[in-house]
Amino acid sequence: MSTFKIFDIAGSGMSAQSVRLNTTASNLANADSVSGDPNKVYRARHPLFAAIKAGMGSDQSSAAVKVLGIAENQAPATVRYEPGNPLADAEGNVYAPNVNVVEEMVDMISASRAYQNNVEVMNTSKEMLLATLKLGQ
């Protein structure tokens, strides 16, 4: 395996964690939104990841992280009785998203730390490569 493949692997990990951070931010931004229709209410979204073999041809030793897609949480929306809300339905109910703010914050911290770990992998690899080049001087 080439020494430079580590940059590809860490880069794909950083890209995946960036998608995770963006979906978490979207979930948190929409956590307080409401709708008068349970079918139109915002649903929490979560990315789906897969580890893949990125190598082509004779080089099958490299790997990467791929974002397979964004899945919507199918849990039912929270029903709240708010007859004064302009978005309320005929029974006075509004529907809130199925976003758990505590879980989203934990997910955001986890994604942020995973991103930082990938940055550290890249920095450490760069320093090791530079130190190796200095050996020849």
For position 63, what pLDDT does the model report? 83
For position 60, what pLDDT does the model report? 60
pLDDT in tens, 58-105: 556 678 889 999 999 999 999 999 888 898 988 999 999 999 999 999
Annotated domain spans of the chain = 5-32+45-74+99-130
Considering the chain, what percentage of its residues have pLDDT values greater than 90? 60
Identify which of 47, 58, 49 has the alpha carbon closest to the alpha carbon of residue 12: 49
pTM, to two decimals: 0.83
pLDDT band at 135 (very low <50, low <70, confident <90, very high): confident
